[in-house]
Structure 1
């Protein structure tokens, strides 16, 4: 299933996206919480904040962390 807002696919209670050739499972919570799982990199990024920022802002932070691990 494709989401309207971000264009991610949805499956098994997680949003699924491709980023730089890697599949990412994304769990979006309230008030800035997010879980980003990149199985092929053995990487989990957990963001727990109370700023209530937009989903786009949280995803940018997660992508920056993934980029740092790749480098």
Structure 2
């Protein structure tokens, strides 16, 4: 997850989903929700955020999004 910072840059935060082994050609569906409610440890700033999957240490393409207002 790449969070939008107050100065306009993005900072990366890694969330580990799972560890598993797949056979060749086998698929796996990933579903996860991420809360943007205010926390004492993290402030969310308005602006573009991004998500990026990391599989076997290889980063995929970033997908930018704008969080919905509360």
If asked which structure has higher relative contact order (CA below 8 Å, sep 6+), I would say: 2
Q: Rg larger in 1 or in 2?
A: 2
The TM-score normalised by the length of structure 2 is 0.26
The TM-score normalised by the length of structure 1 is 0.25
Higher helix share: 1
Higher strand share: 1
